[in-house]
């Protein structure tokens, strides 16, 4: 199946047999760092949390789930693995002059499918090989100092919320419907490497690379900002709902339960609120945790 699929692809994109070609005959060239993909504010919203809950549920847009035990996309007979594998030569990450090096690329996924796509890629990167028997893992790399599972990066943060007077924590995606891979996708002539591109592109739940058949690498400042967000989110819990000074809230836990108050100060690092509540006709400031209050809807 793979051979037929690649033949169809190479008929449109040029030969994918790995032969050296003059620069004038190569496929679309990786021209360096593309336009900014994430120039706006962070994309985390309350709706993202709801999307996170669906990760282990039904597939959005399809009637199927990705099976982590599914058969590999590529034949692996004769593949060289383990100690006998020959890893790709190290390259400078996101060096605009290094077209054949490891760069960060973005893939778009179907809604609520990020977790399943990551699970599949994490498993089969170490199982499959290209048509020449080269392990697929040689085309991928983890960021320096990060675990191997970060070859497929799905930035998340831990958020807390209160339901029925109980505190819950869950994961919220920082970039819903997008994931980031550190890969080698071009050869020294700037020609697209079909096998690793097809391996990712053909994964169920993946819509496409940003740039489609000419994937655009992230700018250095973009991926550095994303990695910084990942690092800052580790070991921290943030409230699902952020409060502002002047907001009217209802206390749902503790000795002031069911009282209505107004927020006087927000201490985000400590996840604390200073709220003025009316006690015996006088306003008294009390310190509460984020999860001990909820917005007053007047119900």
DSSP 239-266: ESS---TT-EEEE-SSTTTT-EEEEEEE
More confident call, 9 vs 15: 9
Q: Residue 173 — very low, low, confident or very high, per pLDDT cuts 50/70/90? A: very high
Residue 23: predicted pLDDT: 38
Tell me what the pLDDT averaged over the chain comes to. Answer: 73
Sign of CA dihedral 221, 222, 225, 230: negative
Sign of CA dihedral 47, 235, 177, 124: negative
Bridge partner list, 144:
none
The kind and range of the H/E element at 282 are: strand 282-289
Domain with CATH 2.30.30.30 in the chain: 248-295
248-295 is classed in which CATH architecture?
A: Roll (2.30)
More confident call, 15 vs 184: 184
pTM over 0.75? The answer is no
CATH topology classification for 2-239: Alpha-Beta Plaits (3.30.70)
Nearest to 108 by CA among 200, 31, 16, 35: 200
Distance CA 249, CA 262 (A): 6
Domain with CATH 3.30.70.940 in the chain: 2-239
- Cα dist from 30 to 191, 193, 217, 220, whole Å: 7, 11, 8, 15
Q: Residue 179 — very low, low, confident or very high, per pLDDT cuts 50/70/90? A: very high
Distance CA 268, CA 256 (A): 21
What digits encode the pLDDT tens for the residues 233-269?
888 877 777 788 988 999 988 888 888 899 999 887 7
Residue 145: predicted pLDDT: 67
Sign of CA dihedral 241, 39, 151, 59: positive
28 contacts: CB under 8 Å, gap ≥ 6: 192, 213, 214
Is residue 202 predicted with pLDDT exceeding 80?
Answer: yes
DSSP label at residue 44: -
Q: Residue 296 — very low, low, confident or very high, per pLDDT cuts 50/70/90? A: confident
Q: Where are the beta strands (DSSP E) in 5-49?
A: none
Place of tokens 């119900």: 299
Give the lowest-confidence range in 60-69, 180-189, 230-239: 60-69
Residue 9: predicted pLDDT: 53
């Amino acid at each position: 199946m793979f051979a037929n699929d690649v033949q169809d692809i190479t008929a449109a994109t040029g030969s994918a047999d790995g032969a050296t070609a003059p620069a004038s005959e190569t496929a679309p060239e990786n021209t360096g760092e593309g336009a900014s993909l994430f120039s706006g504010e962070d994309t985390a919203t309350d709706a993202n949390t709801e999307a996170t809950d669906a990760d282990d549920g039904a597939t959005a847009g399809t009637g199927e789930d990705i099976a982590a035990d599914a058969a590999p996309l590529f034949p692996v007979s004769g593949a060289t693995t383990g100690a006998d594998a020959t890893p790709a030569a190290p390259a400078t990450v996101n060096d605009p002059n290094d077209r054949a090096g490891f760069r960060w690329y973005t893939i778009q996924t179907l809604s609520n499918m990020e977790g399943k796509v990551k699970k599949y890629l994490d498993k089969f990167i170490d199982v499959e090989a290209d048509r020449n028997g080269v392990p697929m893992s040689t085309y991928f790399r983890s960021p320096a100092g990060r675990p191997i599972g970060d070859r497929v990066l799905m930035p998340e943060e831990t958020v807390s919320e209160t339901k029925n007077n109980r505190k819950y924590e869950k994961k919220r995606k920082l970039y819903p419907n997008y994931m980031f891979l550190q890969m080698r996708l071009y050869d020294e002539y700037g020609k697209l490497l079909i096998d690793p591109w097809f391996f990712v592109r053909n994964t169920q739940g993946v819509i496409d690379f940003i740039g489609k058949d000419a994937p655009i690498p992230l700018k250095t400042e973009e991926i550095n900002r994303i990695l910084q967000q990942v690092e800052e989110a580790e070991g921290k819990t943030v409230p699902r709902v952020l409060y502002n000074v002047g907001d009217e809230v209802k206390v749902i836990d503790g000795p002031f339960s069911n009282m209505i108050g107004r927020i006087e100060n927000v201490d985000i690092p400590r996840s604390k609120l200073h709220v003025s509540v009316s006690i015996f006709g006088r306003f008294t400031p009390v310190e509460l945790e984020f999860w001990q209050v909820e917005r007053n809807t007047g119900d």
